[in-house]
Amino acid sequence: MGIAKYPSVVTMPAAGKPYPSIVEFLFKTFPNVPQSRWAERILEGKVLSDTGSPITAETTYAPSKRLFYFRETEHEPVIPFAEHVLFQNDEILVACKPHFLPVIPGGRYVEECLLNRLRATTGIVDLVPIHRLDRETAGVVIFSVNKQTRGLYQNLFMQGKVEKTYHALAEVPHPPQAHQWTVENRIVRGEPRFRMTTVPGAANARTDIHLIDMKGNRALFSLQPITGKTHQLRLHMSGLGFPIINDRVYPNLQPARDDDFEQPLQLLARGIRFRDPVSGQDGAFRSERELLW
């Protein structure tokens, strides 16, 4: 069994009285873990309060308070690709993530995630990702090293002051008549919950897309997201009729199966640019990875 060395966190939201038990709350929040196993974890001291002390079966639900727990998985898959550190100073660490590796622990993945791999190789326990990439997507990810300046970098993303460029490969049956597009629509969670969909209403997602080159029936695109909705680029490319090669979710959800490491999603977070809020200098970082062009 894989057990995380570092705790994950969940916040108890506002709830009507009578409050649920903490075991009930954890099971409702993480239904893939049986309620009986949550009770066992609490007895084993694997669920902590926000003061760092193990809770007990008698600990009561407390809205807005945090709980810390240690992820467990019976059989954790090994991702046979390495990450690379592109830059590191006292404020941030910039890494290039391979396809298939999650940024943070989740689901079947505990130690096999970019965050915990970097903690192990750098010795920096207090790493925090400033933004995320899908597990299937490769490319540049920025981590905060210094919690004193973390908010400054987080605000860059919240305020849209970061320029992100992605590359994507798609199969196109005919040469597109246009060479650039701006896709703007409203994205919400669909069914199943991990699959996003577009609905009428005020736009909350926008992407600028440019055709870079074509070779046969394959086209290389540059994508610049103005917003950062989940699966935004995959959904926008699919909506144009250019689904990204090896996308198992869009336009059609394929049956669940083990990863095929020979067929990664052809989406790469190619580069990122911003003005560093601490040094005042322009920062630009670029992935050295290439798509299957």
Position 243 confidence tier, pLDDT thresholds 50, 70, 90: very high
Whether residues 117 and 129 share a domain: the answer is yes
Last residue of a domain, one of 162, 183, 211: 162
For residue 2, pLDDT beyond 70: no
pLDDT of residue 78: 93
* 290 found inside a domain: no
* 255 found inside a domain: yes
What percentage of residues in the chain have a pLDDT greater than 70? 99
* 79 found inside a domain: no
* 274 found inside a domain: no
pLDDT tens digit sequence for 130-176: 999 999 999 999 999 999 999 999 999 999 999 999 999 999 988 89
The CATH number of whichever domain residue 154 belongs to comes to: 3.30.2350.10
pLDDT of residue 3: 77
pLDDT tens digit sequence for 49-71: 999 999 999 999 999 999 999 88
Whether residues 53 and 120 share a domain: the answer is no
Last residue of a domain, one of 141, 162, 183: 162
pLDDT tens digit sequence for 184-207: 999 999 998 899 999 999 999 999
Report the distance separating Cα 92 and Cα 266, nearest Å.
27
pLDDT tens digit sequence for 5-26: 888 899 999 999 999 999 999 9
- Predicted model pTM: 0.85
Last residue of a domain, one of 23, 45, 73: 73
Task: Report the chain's mean pLDDT, rounded to a whole number.
Answer: 94
For residue 232, pLDDT beyond 90: yes
pLDDT of residue 1: 60
For residue 218, pLDDT beyond 90: yes
Considering its fold, how many domains does the chain have in total?
Answer: 3
Whether residues 121 and 180 share a domain: the answer is no
Mean pLDDT across 242-269 = 96
Domain assignment of residue 255, given as a range: 165-267
Whether residues 184 and 261 share a domain: the answer is yes
Whether residues 158 and 192 share a domain: the answer is no
* 55 found inside a domain: yes
